[in-house]
Amino acid sequence: MGKDKNPRRVADNEAMAKLRMLRTSPQKLNLVAQMIRGKKVDKALTDLTFSNKRIAVDVKKCLQSAIANAENNHNLDVDELIVAEAYVGKNLTMKRGRPRARGRFGKIIKPFSELTIKVRQVEEQA
């Protein structure tokens, strides 16, 4: 009996990984995601390894997860993968505060964001 298998959310030559609850603002995370869009995965991993941004470590983990998904779950060739999409979304925002002078209250906002990376297998032209 059982239910039918869920349809794939990505194409047959793609794989995806998603990271939620990253403790950084979407604007800062998008700077790092912009750095790897459209590149081959080995070049993107190298760029993330030597980046000075703190969040680049988490983006690298997400990219490695997408590569592992492509290899193990979808039988794609790792050497022919490129970063097809890397996009950022908002998540929750923690509201904190700090007492200020003359009885006022300074608002401190601590944003979270999410990251989605899709890798695609592209055959190289000889």
Contact in structure between 24 and 57 (CB atoms under 8 Å): no
Lowest mean pLDDT among 6-10, 19-23, 52-56, 67-71: 6-10
Structure tokens at 36: 């790897």
Q: What is the pLDDT of residue 125?
A: 65
Lowest mean pLDDT among 20-29, 76-85, 116-125: 116-125
Query: What phi-psi label fits residue 109: left (phi over 0), alpha (psi between -120 and 50 degrees) or beta?
Result: beta
Q: Please say if the pLDDT value at position 68 is more than 80.
A: yes
Determine the straight-line distance between the first and last CA of the chain, rounded to whole angstroms: 48
Domains, in order of start, for the chain: 14-121 (3.90.470.10)
Q: Please say if the pLDDT value at position 126 is more than 60.
A: no
- Give me the mean pLDDT over the 95-116 stretch: 97
